Structure 1
């Protein structure tokens, strides 16, 4: 891989993280650094100064991290494509950690400013408007829009099943950024269909996220309930569209990787383009959502969640709130109520499921002794993992329907 390609691989995710960190306090004008302030004080000179100094500190941290990566790469201290890629990932993770620490510091400064200015007393008598008919109009795209995802997954799995007997006994399972095979695995149903299982899990996760956006509570402007409701629906529908497009690109990317690894067994240099495309789309769409979120900030949507429930300005902890998902106070999007046990299940459930996928890498299916086709081998651990995934999927659908009916 040439140096320019390597720089692109390291630079794109790094820049996206840097821009996201810098824009965080500008995306949520009504809750700068995770602290609620009165509507007429959201452009207070002290708050504007905090935003500006925060952006400068994040920019300085990003420049330092980039210079370290460039120095290590140009002096030959870190050699090899994989090591340089790991260096880029490490720099991105370090920037995220430093950015979080800086945000927490500014969150504390914002709390001090709020106390000094006496803004809390002015906000105690305010309230949030809740429009009962808010969810009666389209808020997100329906589940039917995820059918193309399932069609692609089914097509990929169907072709893989038909081609199973003609595949070699050993297939590539890992490539570097040059497209060179770095790891091989024995041909089994698990290794052949593992990407399809991950595609399905990812689709289920995206459906669930889309559903939570649809039914999470909405805080509206009590003085302009209709106008703020319209802006809220527009923002949520745009977020839903982003989820659809981004997840579909990921599904296509994994299908392409599966096809290349099974049938071509070489990837050459196109791995970079395929991997960067979802990131670039995500970056462009984040800019659009950022602009829409600022439009929502013109409304006086007073949050009923007190500052004490937001730990470090980003983590929501309120045992008295039955909601699992709430809108973020900093940045854009939604987060979970960490005080609810079910929220932890939602957070770590998908991670556990994806981690269990390698267990399916065994002969979970055997040919039938009579007739055509295959059947599950119930002596294999992977078989029970697959069955558990099916049960969890069905249970999740039933849970969503029950919640919606309340």
Structure 2
């Protein structure tokens, strides 16, 4: 009886923790710390309007509604998850909260866009754009030394797998998610099943390295008021971001190594699985939070030379190229593949670029082909 009660309490705590973290992220979403300061709710405004009354009003409305919805959904989902002994309630509550936050975000976006148009915020502003050509001629170097830890983890995983492979049973168990929680399904032991997570490490490392290489050559939105300082700050931002991404890769590879060890040892323990996955994921969140709070969007909180005269320019009003409340960039005349995000920190793709469309179609074709092959076999 005590064991059952403890299990229910664990599920209640897990659902509560998941929803609490998500609620905190959604509540903080419109903060200038997590978005470019002059793009509140995905609307481009002159820097002197970033704290306008219309903007602050929408922030207060968004946060108040999210706070109420988060409290109700968290309590109900935690109680339901404890009663049923599953994390499904937390997942459903998370989807509901995200949907509500998205609707509130769209409402705020439209209200600020109307205030911007009605107030003529860009009427007297001198718009401009700057470019640092040295980012092409002398780009920030790829952090090769930071890939070594990820490769070491892969090597250790491969060596451990080779050692234990001869002694593995005929069938090995892998955890899978279901409506009732985590279940274990057995598969015939083969190189593919035994080393599947090691292969995931390799693919993950290659994918992240390719993304980092692309980001180092992505288009930069520099500070038009102080372009020299903005360029220096952006270079530091690229360096810190690239190193952080490779560090996150190490943490995820360690998580996959831990899951492989559980699989090879035939340990079917929910606490062990949670520990192996939870600790690295918490570390990943810590790195991401540090990057967001200490570095800021496009490195806005990094130090830069201060002895530069203000040009008097403001960023160009390019709202017409952004869809989905400032989350989707579509500009067929822009040759850039990657552009800085308006919502959040990082980059997004230019869906108007033909190369992006071709790459997306190719990935979809590969995914469909893999699904068909798996279904046939």
| CA deviation after TM superposition for structure 1 residue 176, in Å | 7.1
In structure 2, do the counterparts of structure 1 residues 356 and 121 end up closer, same or farther at CA, with 3 Å as the change threshold? Answer: same
8 Å contact kept, 1:9–1:272:
no
Question: Is 1:293 aligned with 2:296?
Answer: yes
Q: For residues 32 and 360 of structure 1, do their structure 2 counterparts lie closer, same or farther at Cα, with a shift above 3 Å needed?
A: same
| Superposed CA RMSD | 3.3
* Residues 351, 357 of structure 2: 8 Å contact kept: yes
Of 102, 114, 117, the match for 1:112: 114
1:48 lines up with 2:56 in the alignment: yes
- Say if 1:317 and 1:338, in contact at 8 Å, map to a contact too: yes
Q: Which residue is 2:306 aligned to?
A: none
Q: Say whether 1:309 aligns with 2:321.
A: yes
Residue 342 (1) aligns with residue 355 (2): yes
CA distance in 2, matches of 1:69, 1:25: 25
Aligned residue pairs total 356
Post-superposition offset of 1:360: 9.5
Deviation at 1:37, TM superposition (A): 0.6
Aligned residue for 2:128, secondary structure, equals coil
1:127 Cα offset (Å): 0.8
1:62 aligns with 2:74: no
Output aligned runs, 1:160-199, within 5 Å: 160-174=161-175, 182-199=184-201
Asked if structure 2 preserves the Cα contact closer than 8 Å seen for 1:38 and 1:122, the reply is no
Residues 1:268 and 1:220: Cα distance change in structure 2 (over 3 Å): closer
In 1, distance between residues paired with 2:368 and 2:13?
A: 29
Q: CA separation in 2, counterparts of 1:40 and 1:259? A: 55
Question: Structure 2: 5+ residue runs without aligned partners?
Answer: 1-5, 303-309
Say if 1:140 and 1:210, in contact at 8 Å, map to a contact too. Answer: no
Structure 1 position 355, deviation (Å): 8.3
Per the TM alignment, residue 310 of structure 1 is displaced from its structure 2 partner at its CA by 0.6
Q: Tell me the secondary structure at the aligned position of residue 174 of structure 2.
A: strand
Query: Deviations 1:62-120 (Å, cap 9, x if unpaired)?
Result: 1121122034245x3xx23xxx2122112112212221121111111111011011013
CA displacement at 1:148 relative to structure 2:
2.3
Q: Equivalent residue of 1:269, what SS?
A: helix
Equivalent-residue separation in structure 2 for 1:269 and 1:175 (angstroms)? 15
Question: Deviation at 1:319?
Answer: 1.4
Label 1:53 to 1:349 Cα distance change in 2 as closer, same or farther (>3 A): farther
Cα distance in 2 between the residues matched to 1:255 and 1:359: 29
**Distance in 1 of aligned mates of 2:371 and 2:175:** 13
Q: Tell me what 2:24 maps to.
A: 19
Q: CA 1:107 to 1:286, structure 2 compared with 1: closer, same or farther past 3 Å?
A: same
Pick from 5, 12, 15: which aligns with 1:10?
15
Map 1:65-214; keep pairs closer than 5 Å: 65-73=73-81, 76=83, 79-80=84-85, 84-123=86-125, 125-134=126-135, 139=140, 142-174=143-175, 182-214=184-216
* Distance (Å, rounded) in 2 between the aligned partners of 1:179 and 1:263: 21
C-alpha separation in 2, matches of 1:267 and 1:359? 33
Q: How does 1:238-249 map to 2 (within 5 A)?
A: 238-249=240-251
For normalisation by structure 2, the TM-score amounts to: 0.82
Q: Is 1:263 equivalent to 2:271 in the alignment? A: no
Are 1:323 and 2:324 matched, yes or no?
A: no
Structure 2 residue matching 1:342: 3-state secondary structure: helix
Map residues 224-239 of structure 1 onto 2, 5 A cutoff: 224-239=226-241
Structure 1's unaligned 5+ residue stretches are: 362-380, 383-406
Alignment partner for residue 36 of structure 1, among 36, 44, 49?
44
CA distance in 1, matches of 2:292, 2:195: 38
Alignment check: 8 A CA contact 1:220 1:301 kept: no
Question: Does the 8 A contact of 2:225 with 2:313 survive in 1?
Answer: no
Name the SS for the 1:278 alignment partner.
helix
CA distance in 1: counterparts of 2:198 and 2:367, whole angstroms: 11
- Cα distance, 1:353 vs. partner? 6.5
Contact 2:78 2:90 (C-alpha < 8 Å) held by counterparts: no
Moved more, 251-260 or 136-145: 136-145
- Residues 214-235 of structure 1: CA deviation (Å, up to 9, x unaligned): 1111122233222222322333
Q: Could you tell me whether the CA contact under 8 Å between 1:201 and 1:350 is conserved in 2?
A: no
Q: Deviations over 1:1-24 (max 9, x none)?
A: 634432443234433332332222
Summarize the Cα distance change of 1:190–1:349 in structure 2 as closer, same or farther, 3 Å threshold: farther
Contact 2:30-2:41 within 8 A present in 1 as well: yes
